[in-house]
Copies of this chain bind each other. A is one copy, B any other.
Amino acid sequence: MQIEGRNYRTVWEENKRLFIINQNDLPFKFSIIELKNISEIIAAIKEMKVRGAPAIGATAALAYAITVEKSPELEATIYSALLAARPTAVDLHNSLKIVQTAFLINHNPLQALTAARDFVERSVAECQAIGKYGEALLKNGSRILTHCNAGALATVDYGTALAPIRFAHSNGKKVFVYVDETRPRLQGARLTAWELAEEGIPHAIIADNAAGYFLRKGDIDLVITGADRIACNGDTANKIGTYTKAVLAHENGVPFYIAAPWSTFDRNLANGSLIPIEERDSLEVLSINGIKLTSGKSPAFNPAFDVTPIRYITGFITPAGIISRKEFARIWEMNI
């Protein structure tokens, strides 16, 4: 992604050192940090300095390869610790499985590093393909609603839900993006709006409560979000509030698409009810930037994800093209 005229990725490895854009500083400060050891890596994932299912997958793959090279005797511990960092996104499982398999062949960390680098490049290429195929859904004048951040910052680069929008914009189509602010952590207001502003793509932030109003008014032509885990039957876990937007889109006859790379598909879970839902600290709801919003006498519940049943999903924008709900089973026949 272009930031102040320079190209960046969300996460990258350089001479076996791991770097990320610190997303908790955005949009006020653009800062790059090096994650120097497994504790810093785990903390960065848990605290969401790096977040977004594909970005977490890439970070974990690189982290595994780099740290296992330094301490091969701790391989099992490193693997488990990374796997446990966040429960909902399956990309973490899928990417770790790939790099661990590469390592275990000859107990050679360099093979894990090669596999991790491959995973990262494939992830970038898949997001580009999602952009290319997804662009077909966007006309000149299209108005798109998106939830949370499924942009370059949620992936290694380009994004999932935002990739088709980036492609349409750079091909000269005039599009407009309604950005759900996405409480409690405001990934829409903080990250998606920042990415769109950097790219010069017209957009407006709305309260999560307002999406239904604009859908009913006919101001939104389609909804695109990312995903954290897509089960065998197509039920899809994504940021809390996604289910709500899907129901509202369905009720108003507006198409609802999920954009995701192959690492987000989970052939091992029969349906969405089996996807583990992370519960995060209630302070995320009760405060912002450390400043309390309430008097402290009220508790809060903070589920971080919800599951959208496939019946509300019009189709999936994949690296191999757009797959409609009815064709969903075909996804498992593809080479993934």
User: Which residues on A are within 8 Å of B, measured CB to CB?
Assistant: 27-28, 178-179, 181-184, 186, 189-190, 193-194, 196-197, 203-214, 216, 239-241, 243-244, 247-248, 251, 285-286, 288-289, 291, 293-295, 297-303, 306
A293 near B207 with CB under 8 A, answer no
A184 to B208: give the CA distance in the assembly, Å: 9
Q: Which of B208, B291, B295 contacts A209 (CB 8 A)?
A: B208
A289 near B291 with CB under 8 A, answer yes
Chain B's closest residue to A292 (CB) is B28
Chain B's closest residue to A194 (CB) is B295
A244 to B251: give the CA distance in the assembly, Å: 10
A303 near B240 with CB under 8 A, answer no
Specify which chain B residues have a CB less than 8 angstroms from the CB of A288 in the assembled complex: 288-289, 291, 293
Number of copies of this kind of chain in the complex: 2
B247 near A210 with CB under 8 A, answer no
A190 to B298: give the CA distance in the assembly, Å: 10
Q: Which of B209, B210, B285, B295 contacts A206 (CB 8 A)?
A: B285
Q: How far is the CB of A263 from chain B (nearest CB, A)?
A: 24
A300 near B240 with CB under 8 A, answer no
Give the 3 A-B residue pairs with the shortest CB-CB distance, closest first: A209-B241, A212-B244, A27-B295
A306 to B184: give the CA distance in the assembly, Å: 22
Q: How far is the CB of A73 from chain B (nearest CB, A)?
A: 42
A299 to B189: give the CA distance in the assembly, Å: 10
Chain B's closest residue to A239 (CB) is B209
A205 near B294 with CB under 8 A, answer yes
Q: Which of B27, B209, B240, B295 contacts A240 (CB 8 A)?
A: B209
A288 to B248: give the CA distance in the assembly, Å: 26
Chain B's closest residue to A196 (CB) is B298
A293 near B240 with CB under 8 A, answer no
B243 near A204 with CB under 8 A, answer no
A251 near B247 with CB under 8 A, answer yes
A212 near B299 with CB under 8 A, answer no
Q: Which of B27, B208, B303 contacts A183 (CB 8 A)?
A: B208
Chain B's closest residue to A288 (CB) is B288
Q: Which of B203, B293, B300 contacts A204 (CB 8 A)?
A: B300
A196 to B27: give the CA distance in the assembly, Å: 35
16 contacts between A and B (CB under 8 A): A183-B208, A189-B286, A193-B297, A194-B295, A205-B285, A205-B294, A205-B301, A206-B300, A208-B241, A209-B241, A210-B302, A210-B306, A213-B240, A214-B301, A216-B243, A244-B248
A208 near B205 with CB under 8 A, answer no
B204 near A182 with CB under 8 A, answer no
Specify which chain B residues have a CB less than 8 angstroms from the CB of A27 in the assembled complex: 294-295, 297
A300 near B194 with CB under 8 A, answer no
Q: With A194-B295, A247-B247 known to touch, is A300 a contact of B205 (CB < 8 Å)? A: yes
Q: How far is the CB of A216 from chain B (nearest CB, A)?
A: 7
* Additional A-B contacts beyond A194-B298, A205-B300, A206-B302 (14; CB < 8 A): A182-B209, A186-B293, A189-B293, A190-B293, A190-B294, A204-B298, A206-B301, A207-B208, A207-B240, A209-B240, A213-B303, A247-B251, A288-B291, A289-B293
Q: How far is the CB of A258 from chain B (nearest CB, A)?
A: 16
